[in-house]
Amino acid sequence: MVNRHGPSGGYTPAMCGYKARALSAPFAAVFLLNVQPFPMPPTARSSSIRKDAESAEPPDTVDDDAADQHDSGEEKLRSGIQSIEVGFRLLDVLTHEPRAMMLRDLAQRAGMSPAKAHRYLVSFQRLGVVAQDPLTGRYELGGFALQLGLARLARVDGVKLARIALAELRERIDMTVGIAVWGNQGPTVVHWMESSYPAKASLKLGDVMPMLSSATGLLFAAYLPRGKTAAMIDRELAETQRWAAANSPRTPEDVERVLDEVRAQGAARVEGMLLPTIHAFCTPVFDSNGDLALGLIALGHEGAFDITWGGEVDIALRECAQKLSYELGYSPTAR
């Protein structure tokens, strides 16, 4: 009997009717290349090795490509979640609308379809940010929105916010700027930042400004209740009989005319009234109740200071004051 399995009992070409020496070199090469081992099931040891390799710590050095990918990931995180920003357009509309709104009107104002708006509103209702009238179906801000607003107001510090904003304002207009609040003696300077070419104004922190001959005093006289300012105004009017700054009001009728102009312009200004050759603006910042919280001051030398309404200094002060008023919860329209 012929042993076709060879000495080791393995497979031989003779089993297919071929002799080993009859195989040509090319055919043998193709035959051997096409024979692939069967996949073996993983053993406990191989699985352990694979897990160890996967859990191994990365090398200390990171190549440039990996660093770029990391930076890209951080950029995506900084970009935020767009769906939240889209949904907040609905809240912004409700914040500025004094009445509850129908879905179609709310969606149109927010720039989205009613179906899309409804999906956001369902989630906002679950969170208490939005409430829906069960009878009319109209939407308005919910109880949690009120809690958010109250929490913000409890934490806000107007002077602290104004000091931060004042640095940016000074860089923008390069004028001497300051903050004034109402103190027990009158309008008081509580913060001051000089320009790159300081105005020669003998003002310092804690100074109380006159009511009728300074932009700061005129602003507080125009916007505060008369009960707070009447005694100081009367005292200064009495002093004008002996001395008065140029262009300052001298009679009660003059005072009312000047204060009406301050309220009509939405700010106060003086031209060389308190200090010769020094011009100044003072612009109001209001709180959540619509009351005067503080005044933003800007002053400079005539010739270098734009004293015109609607000029560079006036516009910059108004924009800064509007942002601060918004941060303090003020709204120019009734809610």
Query: Is-contact 108 116, C-beta < 8 A?
Result: no
Sequence-distant (≥ 6) Cβ neighbours of residue 13 within 8 angstroms: 19, 20, 23
Spatial separation of the C-alpha atoms in residues 249 and 244, rounded to whole Å: 8
Run of H or E residues at 285: strand 278-286
204 and 145, same structural domain? no
Task: Please give the tally of structural domains in the chain.
Answer: 2
Sequence-distant (≥ 6) Cβ neighbours of residue 119 within 8 angstroms: none
294 and 277, same structural domain? yes
- Domain range for residue 143? 82-153
Residue 33 lies inside a defined structural domain of this protein:
no
246 and 148, same structural domain? no
The distance of Cα 106 from the centroid of its chain, to the nearest Å, equals: 24
Query: Is-contact 284 223, C-beta < 8 A?
Result: yes
The residue among 108, 135, 153 that closes a domain is 153
Residue 271 lies inside a defined structural domain of this protein:
yes
Query: Which tens digits make up the pLDDT trace of 20-74?
Result: 444 444 444 433 444 444 444 444 444 444 444 444 434 434 444 444 454 455 4
Q: What is the pLDDT of residue 13?
A: 44
Spatial separation of the C-alpha atoms in residues 285 and 162, rounded to whole Å: 9
The amino acid that residue 334 corresponds to is: A
Residue 71 lies inside a defined structural domain of this protein:
no
CATH at 142 = 1.10.10.10
201 and 126, same structural domain? no
Full-model pTM: 0.61
217 and 189, same structural domain? yes
310 and 164, same structural domain? yes
Residues in the chain with pLDDT values less than 50:
1-68, 70-71, 74-75, 77
Q: What is the pLDDT of residue 285?
A: 97
How buried is residue 103: exposed, middle or buried, by Cβ count under 10 Å (0-12/13-18/19+)? middle
The residue among 153, 177, 204 that closes a domain is 153
The residue among 100, 119, 153 that closes a domain is 153
Q: What is the pLDDT of residue 100?
A: 93
